[in-house]
Amino acid sequence: MQGESSEFFEIESVGDGRSGIFTDNYILGERIYLSDTGFAQLNMIRRSGRLFVAKSLRPEYRNDDVAKAALRKEYQIGFRIDIPGAIRTYDFSFLPEIGEFIALEYCHGEDLRHLIDSGNEISGETLMKITHSLIQTVKAIHNEGIIHRDIKPSNIIYDNLSRSCKLIDFGCADAIDQTMFKGRAGTDLYQSEGFTNTVANDWYALSLTLSELSGLCADRNVVRKVGDICRGMRLGIPPEEKEKRKNPYVILAVIAAVAIIIGGFYLFYSLPREEDEMPKVAGRTEVSDSIDTVSPSVPAAETIAGDSIKDIRDLIIDTKGEQSTASLPAEEKSVGDDRKKTLPQDRAGENDRLTEAVVDKTEESRIVGISETSLGYLHNRLNMAARDVLRDRERELEDRKQKVYYSWEARMIERQLFGEETCVNAMIALVGNIPIDAPMDSVREIAGKYYRSVIRSRHNVF
């Protein structure tokens, strides 16, 4: 078809290199394809009784370093793909007649270009099956970090017997770990100017392919469904993302339900309870009578009602440190003695902890070589700076996540935003005026501590 030939639009220089495994176990068969504008040719080959397709270079390109590098890149990308809906790559080998070649899976059937040009009618069921199969295949290769960059009818094989599709020809494909041939590639007719070399362009090209195929189907309801799917993909939106954006009311309903539940809990626990509103009854009780016999000096025993013996005993000890407990039972007397011994020990333990904190601060000041005043200033400012950096970068992460479609792209963005070196530099920049007596190495060490406790605890990107 006119205007449907694939090629690389930008050629970069590459170094010398040798191919991988060389074997002589393949038997060469007939040539089945010769590219008009590209540098590839296809031959049938056989090994151990099984048919394969050998993709090699045309004779005039066999000594061309750029063409050889492109062939090796296609093998490296294709070998990673193990998906039912995509052609499998098995080997990279050599035959004297054709030179270096890629051993590919032999796919039965014909490409969709021949099917579309034939004008033969297809059923609605067949159209929907092809549509869902190709969508799942494109999603799977994107999840592997690979962009096909040349989706079109002639690169899709359809087997009428098994009613299955295979996406073929990864000669223009690219991956995030590849460094060669990063320029524009593919077929002009299926390229969008706004989505060049992105996953969105694969969805755009697939939408055009399915739109052409829909012209063979007489079932208008199915054609309408496929058309709805293609409209979203033509904007570079994967099908499931389109469905999410069509139903924003579901998200609003969930938010409203959560708000109602939280509000109900708040009202339940904030309203005064019946027992809280009961007036306190003043009067003499059996408990207060018994306490009167213990200590006449306890103030206003008549106003205490319903308190336990333990609470009243605490009041006695706090009011008069050496109060006699002769009239209390032996068990209560021992508990009172323990209480009098415990209070001074608790206060002593608190004093010890305060002393240790002061000693730790002084020791840190001595180790890092900064005065205690400057050290306290740095701790306060770096703590606030770490929280500011965390807040700002989480906002930026959410904004940038809206522009990508796959988890591996989001992970790369998160690693860039929350790396230790970039965050520590941002924290020090926010502090601004560093004390004169503070060595920068010590400042970075303190900043690193707050990075790990505040930022890395929430975004452990390594």
DSSP assignment string, 282-307: P---HHHHHHHHH-TTSTTGGG--S-
- Name the helix (H) or strand (E) containing 126: helix 124-143
**Mode of pairing for the β-strands spanning 40-47 and 27-34:** antiparallel
Residue type, 10: E
Residue with tokens 């400057």: 374
Q: Give the torsion through C-alpha atoms of 171, 174, 180, 185, to 10 deg.
A: 60
pLDDT for position 113: 94
pLDDT for position 233: 87
Write out pLDDT tens, residues 176-212.
766 555 566 778 788 877 666 678 889 999 999 999 9
Q: How far apart are CA 138 and CA 165, in angstroms?
A: 12
- Percentages helix, strand, coil for the chain (3-state, rounded to 5) are 55, 15, 35
Rounded (10°) angle between helices 372-401 and 407-417: 160
pLDDT for position 224: 93
Nearest Cα neighbor of 205 from 171, 230, 239 is 230
CATH C-level class of 7-105: alpha beta
Do 450 and 383 meet the contact criterion of CB atoms below 8 Å apart?
Answer: yes
Nearest Cα neighbor of 73 from 149, 134, 137 is 149
> Exposure string (b/e) for 212-251, b if CB count within 10 Å is 16 or more?
bbbebbebeebbebbeebbebbbebbbbeebeeeeeeeee
Q: How far apart are CA 284 and CA 306, in angstroms?
A: 10
Do 89 and 79 meet the contact criterion of CB atoms below 8 Å apart?
Answer: yes
pLDDT for position 435: 74
pTM of the model: 0.50
* Tokens representing residue 229 in the block: 């799917």
Rounded (10°) angle between helices 440-450 and 330-368: 140
pLDDT for position 154: 93
Nearest Cα neighbor of 5 from 40, 43, 39, 36 is 36
Residue type, 397: L
DSSP class of residue 107 equals -
How many other CB atoms are there within 10 angstroms of residue 265's CB atom?
10
Cα diameter, the chain: 118
- Name the helix (H) or strand (E) containing 359: helix 330-368
pLDDT for position 244: 46
pLDDT for position 302: 43
Do 113 and 151 meet the contact criterion of CB atoms below 8 Å apart?
Answer: no
pLDDT for position 401: 82
DSSP class of residue 86 equals B
Rounded (10°) angle between helices 440-450 and 420-431: 110
* Tokens representing residue 384 in the block: 């606030």
Residues lower than pLDDT 70 in the chain: 1-24, 177-184, 194-197, 240-249, 269-369, 405, 436-437, 461-462
How many other CB atoms are there within 10 angstroms of residue 171's CB atom?
27
How many other CB atoms are there within 10 angstroms of residue 164's CB atom?
17
Say whether 455 sits in a helix, a strand or coil.
helix
Q: How far apart are CA 376 and CA 157, in angstroms?
A: 70
Do 64 and 57 meet the contact criterion of CB atoms below 8 Å apart?
Answer: yes
* Tokens representing residue 257 in the block: 């339900």
- Number of helices (H), then strands (E), belonging to the chain: the values are 14, 12
For residue 154, what are the contacts with CB-CB under 8 A and spacing of at least 6?
A: 1, 4, 111, 112, 113
Q: Across the strands, what pairs with 50?
A: 47
For residue 445, what are the contacts with CB-CB under 8 A and spacing of at least 6?
A: 368
Residue with tokens 């400012």: 381
Average pLDDT, the chain: 76
pLDDT for position 273: 54
Q: Specify the CATH number for 110-246; select among 1.10.510.10, 1.10.10.10, 3.30.450.270, 1.50.10.150.
A: 1.10.510.10
Structural domain boundaries of the chain?
7-105, 110-246, 286-344, 369-455
